[in-house]
A and B are shown apart, each in its own frame.
Chain A
Amino acid sequence: MIKSTFIKEIRQLTRDGRVATAFVIVVGLLAMAIWISGKRYHAINQEYREAKSTERAIWDNQGDKNPHSAAHYGTYAFKPKYPLSLLDQGVDKYAGTSIFLEAHKRNEAQFSMATDQTGLARFGDLTPDFILLFIIPLLIVLLGYNSFTKEHEMGTMALLKSQGTSVVKLILGKWLAIMSPIFLITTILFLIAGVVLSNLDDFGVFSWESLGVLFLVFICYYVVFTNLVLIISSRVKKSGIALVFSLSIWIIACLLVPKISSNIADTKHPYPTRQEFAANVLKDKLEGLDGHDPWSKQAKQLEKEVLAEYGVDSLHLLPFNFDAYRMQKGEEHESEVYLKHYRFLKKQFAEQSEVYQGLAAFSPFLPTRFLSMAIARTDYATHWNFADAAEDYRVKTQAFLNNNFAENSSYGEWSYRASADTWKKLPPFEYAPPKLGEILSTNGSNLLILSTWLIVSFGFLFITIKKI
């Protein structure tokens, strides 16, 4: 009986011109999104390859140079490329792809794609994640809004009931008929993605596991939408009303709740503006040691302490270059200041995330969006993780350079030049992104919310059966 209903529904869907048109449009959009992602891949890859190969070469070949000059010369930490970012670019477009690492300063990531685009880019890109998150649920609405209402409108419900039809089997047949084309489109998209991404040997490490989990997340999301659309269709009598209600659910879940969540999160736990942040950092920096200023109160205090510690009365008698030592101490103070202020940003981020999770009870879109970005390694958490690793590398780089300066020269010897092979001794920046297991464990609440949506929507669907 499930099979009969499934075949009948599929026949009806394929013969309905509107559904066929919608299907063709979605497949066309999907093809276009894949093409755009392909273009993006080539653009990113070319920039990345050029930047990464030249940057390290420039660093390694600085020649004889004062280490502190090298510290100011700086280097770059490049965010690794994640193959799944071609499916869901998440915040990458806005968060930037590389961080300039220099003395005294923790920089933000730069070279975001959004900065190179016009204001129209704010309307969103036609990317696979846009199709997966917004368009396919819309297709589910179009496929399923009249699943039951058409039976009332065509007058076939009475005949169906007179056959002794099991409503559970009837619903399962209709459910399968809606989910099958959705499952097919999603599977084809993910298979194409898997085959293409696993063959890109120059775009990060591809994991079938991550792709599989991402696929499951989206299937759960679509199941929730299918259940909601079927619940509505079984509870109202007219297709027009069912369509309005189903579209309202789509608007609320995919557009309204995310926007409202964002506004509430921003209002309740605001980030400081860039200017405020810079002013706060500067204020704290000025309250501590400035490595470049030997005349400040803090520098004089450090001098006194070091002389006492080594039992000498002149900086020239110290076994290291005190200028470099002071600069390292200044660097440590500055990194503490940055740590404090970035910790605050992360606290705000964590609290904003809690707001999103609280409001995810009103939208299956939110947990899906966050899980998708996390699995694709394009969420804010991964970006923070990368930025922290880059900062850690910056601090270690400064220590490496200042220590070289301090240990190989004496006080006042600003003419010291480290040999050309010194720079190669600095290990390159290596960043290991969080593994899938870690991502899933840190996104446990999103998984829980999506699972709750799944279970509750099935529950409601089967409760409505009794009313048919």
Chain B
Amino acid sequence: MIITDNLTKQYGEAVVLNQLNLNIKAGEIYCLLGANGAGKTTTINLLLGFLKPTSGCAFINGLNVDENPKKTKRFLAYIPENLMLYPTLSAVENLEYFSGIGGKSLKKSELEEFLSQAGLQKSAFHQRISNFSKGMRQKVGIAIALAKNAKSLLLDEPTSGLDPKASNEFGQLLENLRGQGVAILMATHDLFRAKEVATHIGIMKNGQLRQEFDANNLSLAELEQAYLDTMDYKELVQ
């Protein structure tokens, strides 16, 4: 569903992503961990077609992103770190618009159903987004992905700034999507949440994927140690 094949991005001499190889299948959640500047967001931007790769390829649903920038977007949904929606529109209206530009004309009841599935409380459906917390906005983002029936989901630091309860709810939503066969790539700093939701975890540093794990065979402590080792934090501490 989400594949990168030696995906590389360079700005002049600076290599910000170096030969990244990922293969995220339907029903998998792949968490990319790494410090700022590790190349996580660049990876997502290359998968979205916002950036052109210097070499290598990115594939969504079997289609080369660079060659089919519009087609591949039909199969994916994206939730940025700080999901911003139209503040003067309600949750239903925002969802209606984003579904509409994706070519789907949904009835009001269907829109409400998607919001409900995304975990948004009913009383918020017709409230303006300007009154929403980040967690509530993320739920509308999930509803957009659900309404789109996206086969792949790209998340860039989705839990940063969320309180533990909202973060936990978000994790459960991702579990639900995984259960529906969605391939999910999540860039995050949040080791705990990554361990909670991921099926696979990769640690990036300086544009390179340094380590990969099957999340089921790894404890949180082991993940934390691996992360610190990769980042050379021990040396820093000493």
Is chain B a partner of chain A in the same complex? Answer: yes
A4-B97, A164-B73 known; A159 vs B87 contact (CB < 8 Å): no
Q: Which of B70, B72, B84, B89 contacts A159 (CB 8 A)?
A: B84
Q: Which of B70, B80, B88, B89 contacts A158 (CB 8 A)?
A: B80
A154-B86, A155-B80, A163-B73 known; A8 vs B97 contact (CB < 8 Å): yes
Q: Is B48 in contact with A4, judged by CB distance below 8 angstroms?
A: no
Q: How far is the CB of A279 from chain B (nearest CB, A)?
A: 68
Contact string, A150-164, partner B, CB cutoff 8 A, digits 1/0? 000011101111111
Bound together, the chains give a CA A156 to CA B97 distance in angstroms of 12
Bound together, the chains give a CA A164 to CA B96 distance in angstroms of 16
**A4 neighbours in B (Cβ, 8 Å):** 96-97, 99-101
Q: How far is the CB of B128 from chain A (nearest CB, A)?
A: 8
Bound together, the chains give a CA A164 to CA B73 distance in angstroms of 5
Bound together, the chains give a CA A5 to CA B86 distance in angstroms of 12
Contact string, B69-109, partner A, CB cutoff 8 A, digits 1/0? 11111101110101111111100010011111111000000
Bound together, the chains give a CA A7 to CA B99 distance in angstroms of 13
A11 contacts chain B at the CB level, 8 A cutoff: yes
A159-B78, A163-B73 known; A11 vs B88 contact (CB < 8 Å): yes
**B71 neighbours in A (Cβ, 8 Å):** 164
Closest to A165 in B: B101
Closest to B89 in A: A11
Q: How far is the CB of B206 from chain A (nearest CB, A)?
A: 25
Bound together, the chains give a CA A410 to CA B98 distance in angstroms of 96
> Which of B69, B76, B87, B97 has the most A CB atoms < 10 Å from its CB?
B97
Q: Which of B80, B86, B102, B154 contacts A163 (CB 8 A)?
A: B102
Name the prevailing secondary structure of the A interface residues: helix
A8-B86, A8-B89, A162-B48 known; A3 vs B100 contact (CB < 8 Å): yes
Q: How far is the CB of B145 from chain A (nearest CB, A)?
A: 10
A455 contacts chain B at the CB level, 8 A cutoff: no
Q: Which of B78, B103, B141 contacts A1 (CB 8 A)?
A: B103
A12 contacts chain B at the CB level, 8 A cutoff: yes
B192 contacts chain A at the CB level, 8 A cutoff: no
B50 contacts chain A at the CB level, 8 A cutoff: yes
**B88 neighbours in A (Cβ, 8 Å):** 11-12, 15-16
Q: How far is the CB of A159 from chain B (nearest CB, A)?
A: 7
Q: Is B98 in contact with A163, judged by CB distance below 8 angstroms?
A: yes
> Which of B71, B73, B84 has the most A CB atoms < 10 Å from its CB?
B84
Q: Is B86 in contact with A12, judged by CB distance below 8 angstroms?
A: yes
**B80 neighbours in A (Cβ, 8 Å):** 155, 158-159
Q: How far is the CB of B73 from chain A (nearest CB, A)?
A: 3
**B84 neighbours in A (Cβ, 8 Å):** 154-156, 159
Q: How far is the CB of B180 from chain A (nearest CB, A)?
A: 19
Q: How far is the CB of A135 from chain B (nearest CB, A)?
A: 25
Contact string, A135-173, partner B, CB cutoff 8 A, digits 1/0? 000000000000000000011101111111110011000
> Which of A8, A12, A16 has the most B CB atoms < 10 Å from its CB?
A8
**A160 neighbours in B (Cβ, 8 Å):** 101
> Which of A154, A164, A165 has the most B CB atoms < 10 Å from its CB?
A164
Q: How far is the CB of A176 from chain B (nearest CB, A)?
A: 14
A–B complex contacts, Cβ < 8 Å, 27 sampled? A1-B101, A1-B103, A7-B97, A7-B100, A8-B97, A8-B100, A11-B88, A11-B93, A15-B89, A16-B88, A154-B84, A154-B85, A154-B86, A155-B82, A155-B83, A156-B84, A156-B86, A159-B84, A159-B85, A159-B98, A161-B50, A162-B73, A162-B77, A163-B98, A164-B102, A165-B101, A169-B101
Known pairs A12-B89, A159-B83 / 14 extra A-B pairs, C-beta < 8 Å: A4-B100, A4-B101, A5-B100, A158-B78, A160-B101, A161-B50, A162-B48, A162-B78, A163-B98, A163-B101, A164-B69, A164-B102, A165-B101, A169-B101
